[in-house]
Structure 1
Amino acid sequence: MDGSHSKEGRLEIFHSGIWGSVCDDSFGHTDAIVACRQLGFRCLSNVQVYTEGGFTTSKIWMDNVSCNGQESYLKSCSFGGWGKHDCSTGENVGIRCYGGCAGDLWLVGGNIEGRLHIYHSGSWGTICDDSFGSQEALVVCKQLLLWTQNYRTTIVQFYTTGHGNGTIWLDDVACNGNENRIADCAHRGWNVHNCGHSEDVSVRCYGSYSSDEGT
């Protein structure tokens, strides 16, 4: 998703080596729940659907999507077939995902890279770059399901971008690489830090999809 904040944007799906959009025909609340779930929002409080026109994508992959709400992946829902549609790029669907579970992560700004945010005590906040390294970035990529049988991360990178907002939730994070969630790594404690938002850390998870998996 590519939107004005970390929980909204134009919905895209990866198929046959290409990212493409989803048409808004018949796309509704239940379909958005499945998309948000695949994007890592396990504890949703609300979803919204809107049309995001004016952006040209190389492909429109899905049209007339119809989910029952129990699916884990958007591709498991009924739709007209890959690349079969009667839509223009002015009918690209956008979604907003509200809520989160404790310890959930989000990369603000992209699907596989961006400023790292974590959900705690009902709000999203950032993680300081102090002591943050490749082991910590690896755990982030694993938690974001960017290290699975369908997407294999081959390179992880971390860098400082700053410009975040809200609470700085974690500082001096130290992982051994075997953890599945960044909150399970050692750290100073929630909201215990000596950082400013200029030290907000970002992560890149480089790799490739082995099947039609991504949104």
Structure 2
Amino acid sequence: MMNELSMVQRIVVWVLPVVFAITVHEVAHGWMAKKYGDNTAFLQGRLTLNPIKHIDWLGTIIIPGILLLTFTGFIFGWAKPVPVDARNFKNPKQNMAIVALAGPVSNILMATGWALLARLGVILNLDFVSLPLIYTGIAGITINLVLALLNLLPIPPLDGSRILTGMLPNRWAWYYNSLERYGFIILIVLMYTGVLQLVLGYPMFVIQKLFFDLAGL
């Protein structure tokens, strides 16, 4: 369906969902950290939906832009991580796991919101109103589900690794998190060898179908 759009239209349709998906994901981490007693993100002014506060030029602009313009069919990105100091938590490992989980959960909630927006477009059935709502809704569903699933992978420093760390004995957790320096390299290798799409392809197909059904598509 997106293939029907021109390059400019694709950029217009995707830019808002991508920026919000990445921004809200980070704010969710900071918000949950504050709930557990860490005010670091709040004190640094990072608990805001103002995307300028969260933009990482490589992860928020360049990478998503290249993926969008090259029609890879797989779009993802990241913002500047919000600062979280686990030393302020009463139960650092367990609390950090929940703080990490807040990011993917926020993406699932946003995907639901975009699905309802697309459904509104379907119900209205007025081309000049419905088509922008439907196309933007599809983009919003897609980017949020990709970010949720991607971040749940147990590759340090992705959120899934923080969740897994919360369940590991301290010694194992330390060794496991020492892989963080190689995390980005591992992710890039998995992406360009096709392993990443192999792992995420079927789960993405299933969950995307559920959200498209919700949207009435």
TM range (shorter): under 0.3
Q: Which has a greater percent of helix? A: 2
TM norm structure 1: 0.26
Q: Which has a greater percent of strand? A: 1
TM norm structure 2: 0.26
